[in-house]
Amino acid sequence: QDQLQQKIICPGPVTCLTASPNGLYVLAGVAESIYLWEVSNGNLLAILNRHYQDLTCLCFTDDSSHFLSGAKDCLALVWNLYNVLQAEPSQIPDPRHVWSRHSLPITDLCCGFGGPLARAATASLDQTAKLWEISSGELLLSVLFDVGIMAVTLDLSEYHMFCGGMDGSIFQVDLCAWPVQRDRTFQTERENGKVFKGHRNQVTCLSVSTDGSLLLSGSHDETVRLWDIQSKQCLKTMNHKGPVTNAFIVLAPANMFNPDGKPSVPLPKFSRHLHGTESSDEPGAEGVTLRLGLHQQEPGQSYLEKAERMYSQMYSTREKNLVGDQEHLTIQVSELEEEVSNLRKINKDLFDFSTRIITKPAK
């Protein structure tokens, strides 16, 4: 039986765990605190204490610029990774947004594509799933169900939101349904074609394939099911010896099927103390620790500062577009009306010219 590559002791029981898509950082929820580690050297970079109860879920945006946290205190927080890394050791960085519209503990988070302009979905025991905009922090959609929601995910094109309930049902919510309503009630008796039925206990995790045709679900009924989204039929059931806590679909890396493939860089032990040095006390341990604090930066902009400036420009450009949309639309309509008028005049001149040629008497 294969042994673990390495056992990493954390400061306490870990309730949720995630890694940044770029592979540089790892987040863990320990009680009501968020721990941020750097993967390359195992240094503990930050401990964030802005939740009042235990963490339940964590996730990164696809560009690793932001991360979201949800907890039993009914709050979902959006954090800017740049601000967290640049904060002084004595300061506690503030989250970018605090979403407090849920009335019961947050159970799951899901972030779409688009980096800082992405949309995020939250699920809660208050029987609602909500869709948010990360850039502005605005609530875009709130869907009320008749059961508590334990899991939520979006398909790749973000046309549908899938929500797993405490009774084992999985609900499919159309995000492009008309008319557009910010507050919506999912009525199961009217939405029979949008419910996956098969699990006998609460659904704990959901994942959609990259082509948007398959849905993977795990449940406390000790099974993992693979569904065809179009027909809502269960294609495969995989039994386990206990409640399923997590399952997801991932693209297999090329070296996964190479029996000789091994990690080229061993994973260091993660520090248990902020700015601790226990990781470098081992004999033969060598390395350079790079602190990203403002007091140690050389003149000129760092990569993180450039990234923050780029994101702020994206936000301002988007806000200007939103404010100027009506004025831009009015100008565009007037230009099109003028062009139509010119084309009508040209068409009339061509018609008159053709008429004169055709009706001209032969000599």
**Predicted pLDDT of residue 257:** 75
**Predicted pLDDT of residue 321:** 58
Question: For domain 14-256, which architecture applies?
Answer: 7 Propeller (2.130)
Instruction: Answer yes or no: are the C-beta atoms of 48 and 36 closer than 8 Å.
Output: yes
Token duo for residue 200: 């006998």
> What's the distance, CA 363 to chain centroid?
80
Token duo for residue 150: 């334990």
List, for residues 29-74, the tens digit of each pLDDT value.
999 999 999 998 889 999 999 999 999 999 999 999 999 999 999 9
Alpha helices in the chain (DSSP H): 81-86, 303-359
**Predicted pLDDT of residue 317:** 58
CA gap 164, 172 in Å, rounded: 9
**Predicted pLDDT of residue 275:** 66
- Give the CA count within 13 Å in the CB-facing half-sphere of 340: 6
Question: Which residue ranges in the chain fall short of pLDDT 70?
Answer: 1-5, 192, 262-265, 275-308, 310-326, 362-363
Instruction: Answer yes or no: are the C-beta atoms of 150 and 108 closer than 8 Å.
Output: yes
CA gap 31, 49 in Å, rounded: 10
**Predicted pLDDT of residue 217:** 97
CA gap 5, 361 in Å, rounded: 98
**Predicted pLDDT of residue 105:** 95
Per DSSP, the three-state class of 190 is helix
**Predicted pLDDT of residue 4:** 54
89 preceded by a cis bond (ω within 30 of 0):
no
Confidence (pTM): 0.74
**Predicted pLDDT of residue 315:** 60
How many of the other CB atoms lie within 10 Å of CB of 206? 27
Contacts of 238 (CB under 8 A, 6+ apart): 223, 224, 225, 226
The helix or strand, by DSSP H or E, that contains position 76, with its residue range, turns out to be strand 76-80
- Distances in Å between the Cα of 149 and the Cα atoms of 61, 104, 120, 127, 226 are 22, 11, 15, 6, 19
**Predicted pLDDT of residue 276:** 56
CA gap 118, 165 in Å, rounded: 25
| Residue written as token pair 């989204």 | 229
List, for residues 257-315, the tens digit of each pLDDT value.
777 776 666 778 888 888 654 544 444 444 444 444 444 444 556 656 666 676 666 66
**Predicted pLDDT of residue 168:** 94
